Amino acid sequence: MFELKDVALLYETRKQALAALKSTTLKIDWGEEIGIYGPSGSGKSSLLFIMSTLKEPSRGEVKYDGKEITALTPSAKAELRRKEFGFVFQEHFLINHLTVRENVLLPASDKKNARKRLEEIVGFLGLGELQKRFPFELSLGQSQRVAIARALINNPRVVFADEPTASLDRDNGQKVVKLLRSYCKKNSATLIMVSHSPEIIEGFGRRFKVENGQVSEVTANV
C-alpha cells in the first residue's frame, strides 16, 4: 500500500542542511496498525506528514496503492486526501460556531450519503446526544471524539493520527486509541499513529522508533 524509498526531509540553514528525517525505506500493507514513537522533534510527525502528502520530501519516492504520489499536483494531492485519508491531530481544530453535527459533516464529499453515515459514526463514538452542542460546550475527550468522527465521515482507507492523545488524560487517551483501532479493524483500514510514548501504541501490529530523524522498526515489545 505505502512504499517509501530513500525518503528524506531536509531543512536548509545558512550554515548547513538539517535532517528532520533521514533516508527511510519501508513498506506498509493494507489493514496494518502502525505505531510510530519518539521524543519531540525526532522526525516522527515528518514521516506521517510525508506519507499523507501534507509535506513534500526533499528526496526519495513515496508510492500509495502502487502510484507515485510525490509527483502529484497540489489539487490531486488534496483530492487524494479527501477521498482516501482521515486525519486526527493533537488539537481537535473544531469550528466553534458550528454544532457537533455540522463539524462532522463539514469535510463530507457526498453530503447525502454522509448524513446516513453520520448516525452510524456518532453511535459508534457515543456522540448521539451531543450532535446539537457546540465545541465550547464539550470536554476535551468529547471534542477529540468529534474530531475522530469528522476524520471518519468519508470512510477513509487510511487513518493518520498525529499524537491524538497528547492533550487527554490517561483514560480518555486509551478510549481514543481503542476507538481508532476498532474502526480500522472493522473496516479493514490502515491506522498510522504517532505518539511520544511507546505505551500508547503497545499492542500495535508494527512499531517504529524515530530518533534524530532515523527510523527503525521495533521487533520486541516496547
Q: How far apart are CA 177 and CA 99, in angstroms?
A: 24
Tell me if 139 sits within 8 A of 171, measured CB to CB: no
Residue 12, φ and ψ in degrees, nearest 5: -85, 130
The model scores a pTM over 0.85:
yes
Q: How far apart are CA 109 and CA 116, in angstroms?
A: 13
Cβ-proximal residues to 83 (8 Å cutoff; 6+ apart), any chain: 109, 154
Residue 222: band (very low, low, confident or very high) from pLDDT cuts 50, 70, 90 = very low
Residue 193, beta-bridge partner list: 35, 161
Could you read off the pLDDT of 48-105 as tens digits, one per residue? 999 999 999 999 999 999 999 998 999 999 999 999 999 999 888 999 999 999 999 9
The per-residue pLDDT for 109 is 79
Closest of 94, 103, 124 to residue 187, by C-alpha: 124
Pick the CATH number of 2-218 from 3.40.50.970, 3.10.20.30, 3.40.50.300, 3.30.70.100: 3.40.50.300
